[in-house]
Amino acid sequence: MLSFADKPTLTGELVTLRPVEVHDAVHLAGIEPETLRLTGSHRTHDLPALERWYATRAEHTDRLDLAIVERATGEVAGEVVLNNLDLDNHSCSFRILLVGARFYGRGLGSEATRLVLGHAFEVVGVHRVELEVYSFNPRARRVYEKAGFVHEGIKRHALLWLGEWVDAEIMSVLAEEWAAR
């Protein structure tokens, strides 16, 4: 049976992905406003709320929350998450967040994406991984396309950001597409 009960540590050249821990909350509480916009997050949470959240992630078998740690500095650069595990359809959702601009454009998110997709397809055995990306985030879309995600459709007016409606693109990658890479 599919499960995210195992919380692995995945290591690449640029990043190590490890299970999130309570002390990661302090790094993720400092998310920059631009990251909030790119992820469509309307609000931040205070440190105690984030600590409570991260303290419970290891208990869940239907999601995998991993901290993205930059290997060169040891800094927590963000998080990558596989969630919404659908056992009947062998699928899950994907999301990633880098806490701020100092981590953008350096390949950290690309490598984290590849590592966690490899785990999802090759170890867990999911058939499909999907995501949504907002139309004002073309940089993320390019990262997802390089990782093998394919455009499926548009959720029109999926996000209301500062009084403006923003579309979300739905993308997915299938196990056979991943294996063919």
Terminus-to-terminus CA distance in the chain, angstroms?
A: 25
- The per-residue pLDDT for 124 is 97
Comparing 13-17, 32-36, 114-118, 177-181, the range with the smallest average pLDDT is 32-36
pTM for this model (two decimals): 0.94
Closest CA to 117 of 127, 107, 108: 127
pLDDT digits (tens, 9 = 90+) for 50-104: 888 889 999 999 999 999 999 999 999 999 999 999 999 999 999 999 998 899 9
Task: Give the model's confidence band at 1: pLDDT under 50 very low, under 70 low, under 90 confident, else very high.
Answer: confident
pLDDT digits (tens, 9 = 90+) for 3-31: 999 999 999 999 999 999 999 988 887 78
Task: Tell me, yes or no, whether 5 lies in a domain.
Answer: no
Number of neighbours of residue 115 by Cβ within 10 angstroms: 21
| In contact, 141 and 17? CB cutoff 8 Å | no
Task: Tell me, yes or no, whether 86 lies in a domain.
Answer: yes
> What is d(CA 36, CA 97) in angstroms, rounded to the nearest whole number?
9
Count of domains forming the chain: 1
Task: Tell me, yes or no, whether 160 lies in a domain.
Answer: yes
- Backbone torsion region of residue 5, taken as left when φ is above 0, otherwise alpha when ψ lies between -120 and 50, otherwise beta: alpha
Using the predicted structure, report yes or no on whether residue 178 has a pLDDT greater than 80. Answer: yes
Q: What percent of the chain has pLDDT over 70?
A: 98
The continuous run of DSSP H or E covering 174 comes out as strand 164-174
> What is d(CA 77, CA 16) in angstroms, rounded to the nearest whole number?
10
- DSSP string for residues in 24-63: GHHHHTT--HHHHHHHT------HHHHHHHHHTGGG-SS-
- The per-residue pLDDT for 22 is 94
Q: What is the dihedral of CA 11, 8, 128, 136, to 10 degrees?
A: -60
Using the predicted structure, report yes or no on whether residue 117 has a pLDDT greater than 90. Answer: yes
- Backbone torsion region of residue 109, taken as left when φ is above 0, otherwise alpha when ψ lies between -120 and 50, otherwise beta: alpha
The CATH number of whichever domain residue 152 belongs to comes to: 3.40.630.30
150-164 burial string, b = 16+ CB within 10 Å, else e?
eeeeeeeebbeeeee
Task: Tell me, yes or no, whether 20 lies in a domain.
Answer: yes
Q: What does the block give as tokens for 159?
A: 């996000």
Task: Tell me, yes or no, whether 3 lies in a domain.
Answer: no
Task: Tell me, yes or no, whether 152 lies in a domain.
Answer: yes
Domain that holds residue 41: 10-180
Task: Tell me, yes or no, whether 1 lies in a domain.
Answer: no
Task: Tell me, yes or no, whether 2 lies in a domain.
Answer: no
| In contact, 40 and 97? CB cutoff 8 Å | no
